[in-house]
Amino acid sequence: MIGIVPARLSTRVEAHLIDLVILLAICSPLLLAASSISQLGILGFSLLFSSILIILILYFTLLEGYYSTTPGKKLFGLFVISLDTMGGLRYSEAFIRNLVRLSDIATIYLATLITKGNRRIGDMVANTLVVSRDLLKLEVPLGSSEIASDVRKGVIDALVERLSGMDVSSLASVEGRSLLYNKLLDEMGDVPEAVRHAAALLLSNPRISSKYLSPEDVVEVYERASQLCYHVESREILKQRSELMKAILSIKKSSLKFSKVSQVFSQTPTEFREILPYFAISLLLFFSSLYGAYLWKPKWLETLLKEMFGKKVIPPSISPWVLSTVIFMNNFRVILATVGMAPLLFMPFLVLIANGALVGLVISISKMGSIRALGFILPHGVPELTAIFIASSIALMVIKEIISPSQPDRASSIGNILKGKVNLMIFSTILLIYAALIEGFITRELGSSTIKAALFSLVEAIVLYSYLLLGSHVHRNRR
């Protein structure tokens, strides 16, 4: 059938392999420097892994958001379109599509193999489709079913109608011998011989039709055919095909625009209030895990922690800028993975419980005492944990939509959640940048004075949560 169908899976795999080769080339400096990076210990390995994951998401997001394709896809004539707008991707759609790619990778792209239309999880959530430029060619279904015959007749009649007003003499000398050519000739009624030959030739030979008819001409043929068909299903198939073709033709470079800072800060409080119940659940899970690890102090976890962090995790000579960058990259990877792997259900719980247990155990076994250890955690911990709780809350909302969707289409329900929380995710990234700078430049100094650290953290918390809880109200009142 010739309705909306994705590009062939084998072609998409070949295109993806080429993109992976390009990504490998981009990441090669990092891989070559792996031995030097490893001297930073666990921080170095974290930086390496985080960098590769972030580059992966940015590569596909920026290219698909700007061109609606990537080098690998373009080589095979593939494009990604939005089924919401029937056009090129917006950056938010490209980001969501590729953020959820983490779930696809974790399941070895299983959804692509078993879902209708071979669409991966990211495509279903973002409501996007990978299509081939081959769909711009003129073709008819060859089946003998009632719908296939109706569609074929509609396309033939529409093409004959169009050719009747054109000069087809240039096609008169072109041979059209083929089984399909003869079949199409037999299905045409009382049509002038020159037009019959031209129509059968164009429908049976894509190479000739692409030279004689422009893609816009083919779209018009399909649109007219959708009006001539008898069955409603046939009309819908042809209408979808023409809409898809127009979407491919309308793709153009997108301007590289990012959300305005004012928009992010004005919308974030509203989006934050929408996640409050899930934010409360995130807090409960985190602090329950923290308190349990603090009291329980499992020996095996204590041994593991000392092996990982007991030595000089942060070399004294390390630049605060380098330290801040490593910390940000690590935490940014955490929130990307938390949201991107939410469809797999386990990730937000794993992040909250693991981080809570880690903090609780660090406080419990610290040689400097629990209170002083908190002084080294809170100044950067307030914004950092808030960002992690926000990411976990969004992920928990996704899980809720998987279990009990608010719309008949579960993927659309998840997509609406993610599209509606883009500003909140951007704000979380800003929080992580701030937290990394605090940890890199200020935490050591503040940690030496528990009172200073406590006062600094209290001011942070008051300002941050006053904005998140009341910011939208203030913005609305000013308007």
> Is the domain of 285 the same as that of 427?
yes
Strands 87-88 and 128-132: unpaired
Intra-chain end-to-end CA distance of the chain, in Å = 54
Backbone dihedral angles phi then psi of residue 87, each to the nearest 5 degrees: -160, -165
Nearest CA to 158 out of 242, 38, 272 is that of 242
> Is the domain of 240 the same as that of 289?
no
> Of 103, 135, 167, which marks where a domain is finished?
135
What is the reported pLDDT for 474?
47
What is the reported pLDDT for 179?
86
What is the C-alpha separation between 171 and 191, in angstroms, rounded? 16
- SS3 state of residue 68: coil
What is the C-alpha separation between 267 and 244, in angstroms, rounded? 33
What is the C-alpha separation between 166 and 212, in angstroms, rounded? 11
In a domain, 4, yes or no: no
What is the C-alpha separation between 472 and 470, in angstroms, rounded? 6
* Identity of the residue numbered 453: A
Query: E-assigned strands of 297-440?
Result: none
Residues of the chain with pLDDT under 70: 1-6, 34-43, 254-260, 298-317, 472-479
> Is the domain of 287 the same as that of 401?
yes
* Identity of the residue numbered 185: L
> Is the domain of 245 the same as that of 365?
no
In a domain, 141, yes or no: no
What is the C-alpha separation between 351 and 337, in angstroms, rounded? 9
What is the reported pLDDT for 430?
96
Backbone dihedral angles phi then psi of residue 88, each to the nearest 5 degrees: -65, 165
What is the C-alpha separation between 391 and 351, in angstroms, rounded? 10
> Is the domain of 38 the same as that of 86?
yes
Compute CA distances 447 → 305, 327, 337, 374, whole Å.
Answer: 21, 17, 30, 8
What is the C-alpha separation between 356 and 363, in angstroms, rounded? 11
> Is the domain of 288 the same as that of 385?
yes
> Is the domain of 115 the same as that of 153?
no
Domain that holds residue 26: 9-135
Nearest CA to 415 out of 342, 472, 314, 312 is that of 342
In a domain, 179, yes or no: yes
Total domains in the fold of the chain: 3
pTM: 0.86
Alpha helices (H) in 7-166, listed in sequence order? 9-32, 34-37, 42-67, 71-75, 91-99, 101-106, 110-114, 121-126, 146-163
CA angle (44 as vertex; 41, 46 as ends), nearest 5: 110
In a domain, 215, yes or no: yes
Contact criterion met (CB below 8 Å) for 375 and 447: yes
> Of 226, 250, 274, which marks where a domain is finished?
250
What is the C-alpha separation between 70 and 75, in angstroms, rounded? 9
> Is the domain of 316 the same as that of 435?
yes
**pLDDT tens sequence across 419-478:** 999 999 999 999 999 999 999 899 888 877 889 999 999 999 999 999 999 986 544 444
What is the reported pLDDT for 479?
45
What is the reported pLDDT for 3?
46
